[in-house]
Structure 1
């Protein structure tokens, strides 16, 4: 081990089960280096992402985005521990069992169990009475399946026999699910997620088969993980994530039974990981302590607020939400105007605000109109802040005495640009003691409505209503402001309220630029500071989670949503990953913050050893067997900036559990971007991790496949860090809304790495042959696995073309990174060279060559390899995607992946639909004359000529005219016989692949093929 292990994970000594030989798998390839069930994994990851707020760790802090699905983390870790044997189909089946993705596990995950009647209608049984009781007795023959109609007509009742065992029942339910014929994604959509089912129920049937295959003696996943760790590393596996973020990876590793080391530069990430271990994964005593702590916190905060009498009207009503807006003086009219993008207060309650002119004071009173009509709501949809339809720039709008006044907000602020390119305006920069505007500030702030709630009394239900602001309300506002002003300096000194300046950055410049706020506490009004200050002062470690959730929903950046929850609701600051300032916002009363204080946490017990540290990834100094990391990359969320929103509240008063962490974002040390600094930081981090690994250690790096230079960048990083790639897998991890048109891939690439132990040399010529052999072998293996598993035919492919393509890329990268010297060039030195803009490096050219080699292996059946080489990227893309569509593979990410693979500049012009899960190519008729002009990617190609001919034939044009037009569109048609042969082959290919989806176009393709085949060439 090449590391001075100053930090150690405590590994408890355990008795080794009989038959488990330490080190038996030390030199055996890991299963993740050979196989991964990527199609099923994509469906499971999508299912988990669609849970949104219902995901296991989201309750700790929904403000952290980009959480990698737990099922994906589990698959990676098990894939690193399981061996790849000479029985790949059985290996894959075992992994699916352990992930809860085999047929019987999926039956156990169903929200509604398969009924006995449905089993009878689907599953062949020799003797019904072995499993079921049918009433009336003797009403059915003794075999199945039987028709549902027969059961219905006879009014028969079918029940399980009491002596049928749970495994046998599960087996029949699974068989019925398979016989329904639904794709895996559809079956998963009706099921619970694996972590929502008790392990002893989910894994009821697997252990005999698992232990038989692996030579283990486990009856639970933690037992299996420990035994596999002993067999591979000599001890329980030690797993680390040095970019722990929301804690998804460390939590799942600990839940599996690994000893876990988690670190992150950002202390909020460390806090979320601590919560994953100690709240969601806490013991029964920890959960009881949490319950008692939260109850005491709620009681204490509420008592302080009630003592001030600032949330009650004195008539039994309590304030639920206070609505505030900015006000500014119109420079043209001299009137003080409320800045409200909409005058609708609540859609559900049908309440709108009416601006009543006060000419004497040149301002507006705000009255509320209840039970607004449809016309009133429509009129109120546009307020005093509007957007110009051309520039989309907001402006202040109001009408006085029939005269309309419009002023750009940028003009109002006095925005200007300095000679050096920087910008400024005439907003006053707030001082540390400020928490509300001064009288002469450009922007003022006013309370314009309050939602009141009267608790249930006797038989009367709870009542809620919006009211305009009264003199009593304003008196209570002043009381809150005075209290905060009196205590602000003291609370800042104690750390209960922030005193930290906002450091300008890409995201944090917005509050400074648009409001003049210079300190983090200025993102909160007096009421928000009051409640948050009380909460912070009374919080233990558990309470800090309540505080961060509350801050997210109770800030000047908390948008008032007029249509949520009937009456409306304040939304989170970090619903987007920006610091967007608002013209109006909501402030929750203490009672309305119950979801911050009392969230519903899922419960799991973590019993393995865990350690959390706050440091940069390249500072780890702990022996680790497996690194599983999801590093920041490219356009990742700038957490190092936006999470200062929370750091400012915790840095001076962290609880003892968090006191050892550095409570600063340390922006300068954060890995970010895609430039040379990013690559150097990544190399430093992954080289350090490699140093902390044993010779047989593994790393799995997750990254989003977006950048056009991603493979060259990753090859550079891998080479320079002393690592080599052994596999890569692509998994769809995003929901429909995330698969936006115009972006490439919205999934995750899993890159598997090992230490590069040898200094091998090769020439580029020899490299070409080796890459081709490796890619072809990889494609052959995965294609073969689509045919069978454990002796049975699979209903669905394990791997689709996109997966095989990615595996081909990985095979190429595996060959490349195996070598230290290529064509006499030291690759570590080459990898460290700075990238010159628009200049291809030696590494770029190698990656390009490797990828092109991989793509050559993706020839669709029905196109000859010789003809495939003649096609350009757009032609290959269209034909390949047509092949996938014929197999009902129509997710947008596939089109994005292959467009990138075939270097199609604008794949969208070839698509009729860009829906995330229902994308499709344009038909010949839909394409019309598009792509016929010079510069289009299909211009002048044989495929474009064939598609144009199909359009003509569908319009019943004469065959001779169609032939003549086709020969005109293919200028070398008569001079080059291969062009005619290609046209005939393409027509036949289209006829076959369109027969089911577009029969009329398929018919036209058959006619064209016959016309061309029997054409007289003179």
Structure 2
């Protein structure tokens, strides 16, 4: 039977009732670990914080699929579509194994799901034919007749919305969400204030999503353009040595005059050029000229390489010795003339002019090349051989050619837009190059050789949109902000945005054309998109088209200030964007960007989400993603949702980041997703009535998920949810109750949500959210405790015991500890954490790590029965006589007699939770379990 238009119009969506977050987390982690192998990073790795395509797919399908009375069947169909079922997983693992090893695939299928995923191909890497086995079961359950994802999406879109579903993302960023929605077969509307974000999004759907025929046409044009660029660069004769060698990279350094000696000193923090093949740079004093020559040389020993680690920049000082005996040191801050004026750091550097493209003779920082890496095809014709050479007279002559060329063409090229003439606007990130180098225009971040190469490329490619997309990716490879790294046989250069800042360098590398032009040949697997995809550049609140589903990852508390750093690219594109994209505003429009966590952010978000609510049908659905970094986030989101006329229907938590993506190691971040609907009714309630309603909603939600989890386990599969997931579900149930009401205690919640916040003062919304979160957390009572006695425990005790259960379940990501600490209102949870904790392998301290610390004092755990009990477990493990242990426990534990029964329960509980855990290098949790068991029995049998 064919699905009829609007047949599912009022059916709840699957994502509102179930979402296998543990499996989706494993898949998301796998995708994030792929790094440069991810589907869309070929278009530009400079955009960080991409949401995994697999997560986006789950959101789109979760919004379209219905939930039925048979939740297990709903889950089965969802996992089939996600490539998470056993048969597809077998194919995914087989795809990574050689034919001779495919008989071993069964060994992997019995492993935990995250281990299977690690071994398997990502489901997006499989051809559609490998999903052929799913359609019979999918169609039988849904009443569809699909044989592909686009067919399925169109049919279920018609059943829900009366048309092929329209999915929108008005904070499209790198385009991950629009691309995945379009690839599934949805019509897509994508927008962003930032034109570089729009460029990446456009590239995703029009290059990666192009048909095979279109891709073939692009490839032909690529070759023609590359040849034109190559001819023009070669015409100047500055990248070859005349003997068959071509430059792969040039190394440059700054140079300053030492005020004590008058010598010009190259600023090179590290003289190692290549560690693996033992190539270093050495300063050769030239007394007659009061300067140093720089000799590039091979050495014989690792010790010689190690000695070359120490350069002329040491701890913020210039250090050199012309005679090899006397050492001269000068602070770079003194040379620069650093001083404070009010709250500003300033110095006496000359501010560069628009016409400058290299230092003037009287500038503090001069610049010089000191090494060239050459490459030549091997005689066999396969591969290249490489050489590092010192700078010779002929190299300086070629360098001068480039300088002369840019000197005579700069004004013309700036006028034509081939190179930038745009001023660097002051800002958090953009102040750095101004303050540290005196650079005032974006072209100052490029040396003459870089301006030449990138100017020629810009001239030939930016009028064609498919290649304009690649220009920022190439610019990310080529500026004075590209650090040289000396590992690997060939060495290499880091990208500009290897981190999301504009860090100036004392020495840097510049790529030769062959090391950049390959980006014009960049190829990825074709993911043909046939649905309509519209990309526009405008503020989110200026949306004017209706869409059925909104999936957004807005810039909440975003540490990456894209509105500033993408001006690095905009400066090159703004005068000559492709005609097809010229209607976009080629400016960062910083003042309009929704950013941060302050009042402006909330107001901007309310305006955006109110417009999206207005521009979706009554049965439309919205998924709001955000990264959990701030304790005030739930209040902020509730304010935004209330004021926008929306309400929460579900919340899920998915781990989406990896250790390597998190520079500080201790801030692993996942993604919280709030599922939203329009608030159709004007309901009123009173705070006194909310308590039982929230508790009932939390209970129903958690029991529903726990029941589904048990059913899945009963079938021999892994569980779906951890306590952290149930906690999020509890939050969602609380928010669902709260945001359903327009008026609470006679107060209009929209007005309350829009009211300005006063620093340090809690609003009505803050108080309600705190109340709701506490209610949700209190419901998660561990097995073995009564609700009443659990609630009598101090927050820090509940936190420690709850996290012991989480560890027992195998969940050890640091963000879980952070989330629960906030929920339990534990201010200094770090005091309870092992010193060995890392982002994805965190754990609580064992009793043997606490020893006698924090028995008294200001620590939250001091003076609690739990702390006294942990000390008692420690004493048992140290073979103190049991009678003495109990005596000490009675002394350390206030109100021992009334507390005795709960001490037994806590000891039994820890004995169970510490059993069988993987031991650490220093401590064994099974010893802890044994000691806890002995203590519990001793307390239980104690005669007083």
Bin the TM-score by the shorter chain: over 0.9
Q: Secondary structure, in 3 states, of the residue corresponding to 2:259?
A: coil
* Residue 736 in structure 1 maps to residue 719 in structure 2: no
Q: Specify the alignment match of 2:129 in structure 1.
A: 200
* Residue 816 in structure 1 maps to residue 741 in structure 2: no
Q: Specify the alignment match of 1:189 in structure 2.
A: 118
CA distance in structure 1 between the aligned counterparts of 2:664 and 2:883, rounded to whole angstroms: 41
Contact 2:647-2:739 within 8 A present in 1 as well: yes
Matches within 5 A, 1:238-253: 238-253=166-181
Deviation per CA, 1:239-279: give whole Å up to 9, x if none.
11001111100000100100101111111111111110111
* Residue 513 in structure 1 maps to residue 450 in structure 2: no
CA distance in structure 1 between the aligned counterparts of 2:136 and 2:92, rounded to whole angstroms: 20
Equivalent position to 2:520, from 597, 601, 622: 597
Equivalent position to 1:1010, from 927, 937, 941: 937
With over 3 angstroms needed to count, the CA separation of the structure-2 counterparts of 1:208 and 1:246, relative to structure 1, is same
* Residue 1001 in structure 1 maps to residue 928 in structure 2: yes
Deviation at 1:316, TM superposition (A): 1.8
Q: Specify the alignment match of 2:312 in structure 1.
A: 384
Deviation per CA, 1:740-770: give whole Å up to 9, x if none.
6675550000111111111100000111110
Equivalent position to 1:90, from 60, 67, 73: 73
Deviation at 1:959, TM superposition (A): 1.4
* Residue 830 in structure 1 maps to residue 737 in structure 2: no
* Residue 342 in structure 1 maps to residue 270 in structure 2: yes
CA distance in structure 2 between the aligned counterparts of 1:76 and 1:751, rounded to whole angstroms: 11
Q: Specify the alignment match of 1:125 in structure 2.
A: none
CA distance in structure 1 between the aligned counterparts of 2:403 and 2:96, rounded to whole angstroms: 58
CA distance in structure 2 between the aligned counterparts of 1:583 and 1:672, rounded to whole angstroms: 32
Deviation at 1:738, TM superposition (A): 3.5
Equivalent position to 2:420, from 498, 505, 513: 498
Shifted more, 889-898 versus 85-94: the winner is 889-898
CA distance in structure 2 between the aligned counterparts of 1:195 and 1:217, rounded to whole angstroms: 22
Contact 2:96-2:120 within 8 A present in 1 as well: no
Q: Specify the alignment match of 2:50 in structure 1.
A: 67
Q: Specify the alignment match of 1:275 in structure 2.
A: 203
With over 3 angstroms needed to count, the CA separation of the structure-2 counterparts of 1:922 and 1:741, relative to structure 1, is farther
Shifted more, 241-250 versus 926-935: the winner is 926-935
CA distance in structure 1 between the aligned counterparts of 2:931 and 2:666, rounded to whole angstroms: 34
CA distance in structure 2 between the aligned counterparts of 1:117 and 1:351, rounded to whole angstroms: 42
Q: Specify the alignment match of 1:399 in structure 2.
A: 321
Q: Secondary structure, in 3 states, of the residue corresponding to 2:451?
A: helix
Q: Specify the alignment match of 1:326 in structure 2.
A: 254
Deviation per CA, 1:850-882: give whole Å up to 9, x if none.
000000111111222222112222211221121
CA distance in structure 1 between the aligned counterparts of 2:270 and 2:931, rounded to whole angstroms: 55
Equivalent position to 1:578, from 501, 515, 531: 501
Q: Secondary structure, in 3 states, of the residue corresponding to 2:476?
A: helix
* Residue 487 in structure 1 maps to residue 414 in structure 2: no
* Residue 705 in structure 1 maps to residue 633 in structure 2: no
Equivalent position to 1:986, from 891, 906, 909: 906
Q: Specify the alignment match of 1:542 in structure 2.
A: 466
* Residue 880 in structure 1 maps to residue 802 in structure 2: yes
| TM-score, structure 2 as length reference | 0.97
Q: Specify the alignment match of 1:39 in structure 2.
A: 22
Q: Which runs of 5+ in 1 are unaligned?
A: 1-17, 122-172, 388-393
Q: Specify the alignment match of 1:134 in structure 2.
A: none
* Residue 853 in structure 1 maps to residue 775 in structure 2: yes
Deviation at 1:687, TM superposition (A): 0.3
Matches within 5 A, 1:665-704: 665-704=588-627
Deviation at 1:549, TM superposition (A): 1.8
Aligned residues: 933
Q: Specify the alignment match of 1:80 in structure 2.
A: 63
Deviation per CA, 1:420-444: give whole Å up to 9, x if none.
3223211111101111000000000
CA distance in structure 1 between the aligned counterparts of 2:158 and 2:321, rounded to whole angstroms: 78
Q: Secondary structure, in 3 states, of the residue corresponding to 2:330?
A: strand
CA distance in structure 2 between the aligned counterparts of 1:61 and 1:731, rounded to whole angstroms: 25
With over 3 angstroms needed to count, the CA separation of the structure-2 counterparts of 1:224 and 1:850, relative to structure 1, is same
Q: Specify the alignment match of 2:818 in structure 1.
A: 896
Q: Specify the alignment match of 1:143 in structure 2.
A: none
Q: Secondary structure, in 3 states, of the residue corresponding to 1:787?
A: helix
Deviation at 1:597, TM superposition (A): 2.2
CA distance in structure 1 between the aligned counterparts of 2:381 and 2:591, rounded to whole angstroms: 61
Q: Which runs of 5+ in 2 are unaligned?
A: 918-924
- The Cα RMSD (Å) is 1.8
Shifted more, 569-578 versus 102-111: the winner is 102-111
Q: Specify the alignment match of 2:475 in structure 1.
A: 551
Q: Specify the alignment match of 1:296 in structure 2.
A: 224
Deviation per CA, 1:603-650: give whole Å up to 9, x if none.
110000111111000000001100111100113311110000010000
Matches within 5 A, 1:21-40: 21-40=4-23
Q: Specify the alignment match of 1:57 in structure 2.
A: 40
Deviation per CA, 1:940-987: give whole Å up to 9, x if none.
11111111001111111111211111111112114xx2x111111111
CA distance in structure 2 between the aligned counterparts of 1:495 and 1:223, rounded to whole angstroms: 45
Matches within 5 A, 1:617-1016: 617-738=540-661, 746-789=669-712, 793-912=715-834, 913-974=836-897, 977=898, 979-997=899-917, 998-1016=925-943
Deviation at 1:889, TM superposition (A): 2.6
Deviation at 1:415, TM superposition (A): 0.8
Deviation per CA, 1:659-717: give whole Å up to 9, x if none.
11110000000000100000000000000000101100011111001111000000000
CA distance in structure 1 between the aligned counterparts of 2:41 and 2:651, rounded to whole angstroms: 28
Contact 2:376-2:384 within 8 A present in 1 as well: yes
Contact 2:95-2:121 within 8 A present in 1 as well: no
Q: Secondary structure, in 3 states, of the residue corresponding to 2:7?
A: coil
Contact 1:624-1:694 within 8 A present in 2 as well: yes
With over 3 angstroms needed to count, the CA separation of the structure-2 counterparts of 1:841 and 1:461, relative to structure 1, is closer
Matches within 5 A, 1:111-260: 111-112=94-95, 176=106, 181-201=110-130, 203-260=131-188
Contact 1:293-1:542 within 8 A present in 2 as well: no
Q: Specify the alignment match of 2:281 in structure 1.
A: 353
Contact 1:778-1:811 within 8 A present in 2 as well: yes
Contact 2:665-2:838 within 8 A present in 1 as well: no
Q: Secondary structure, in 3 states, of the residue corresponding to 2:737?
A: helix
Q: Secondary structure, in 3 states, of the residue corresponding to 1:450?
A: strand
